Amino acid sequence: MQKKERFRRFLDYFTQHYPEPKTELHFSSPYELLVAVILSAQCTDKRINQVTPALFARFPEPESLAAASVEEVLSYIKSVSYPNNKAKHLVGMARLLMERFEGEIPSTVDELQTLPGVGRKTAHVILSIVYNQPTMAVDTHVFRVSHRLGLAPLTATTPLAVEKALVAHIPKEYVYKSHHWLILHGRYVCLARSPKCEVCDLRDFCKYYEKSVKVGVQSLE
């Protein structure tokens, strides 16, 4: 199957079945989203959503977070992964946000990445959701699923390479949606250790299924 056809089938399926995908992180402002995404690194959205209500109630805007101590922030996020580093990042992010950007969330990758705790992936999430920019944030789910489906070549061994491979073939209006589609598919169907190929509606054009699963099934027949 040609790559163009593979992408077409991917887009056809998700635009039909999940036309408006959204992040599973809970937030009510760009600031809250930025905090939640920083916290979500190597942690589940479910866990973050359990932590952020109390955190946002105590620090409802960048000003209050910038004035906080790392120790106090830590007391709210102890149950997330790497809480010590994330507490430092959150306070540092808020202080820089106030000093350089007057509390407004930056709208460029370069500016966002000057904030503590914000890498390219986090910046792209913010740009896509807050500013509707056609950016592709590549996390472990996007990386894994795009390779298994054959959307990204095996030679794309870095998040940046996968990002470029995907953006090159996905129309701009579907880039941010494709980010969510790949994440949700990886989270609930195309699992890292035990992918649920038997219930996956994408297996007809999935390279992983064709090479690793279908062959094994046929050998048993």
Just list the catalytic residues.
Answer: 121, 139
Q: Is 192 helix (H, G, I), strand (E, B) or coil?
A: coil
Q: What is the 8-class DSSP label of residue 25?
A: S
- Annotated binding-site residue numbers for [4Fe-4S] cluster: 190, 197, 200, 206
Query: Using alpha carbons only, what angle is made at residue 171 by residues 168 and 174, rounded to the nearest 5 degrees?
Result: 115
Helices (H), the chain: 3-17, 30-40, 45-58, 62-66, 70-76, 83-101, 109-112, 120-130, 140-149, 159-167, 172-188, 207-208, 214-220
User: How many other CB atoms are found less than 10 A from the CB of residue 96?
Assistant: 16
- Annotated binding-site residue numbers: 190, 197, 200, 206
* Lookup: tokens for 27: 């937030």
* Lookup: tokens for 57: 């109630």
Long-range CB pairs of 118-121 (<8 Å, 24+ gap) are 118/34, 118/38, 118/93, 120/159, 120/160, 121/159
* Lookup: tokens for 117: 């705790």
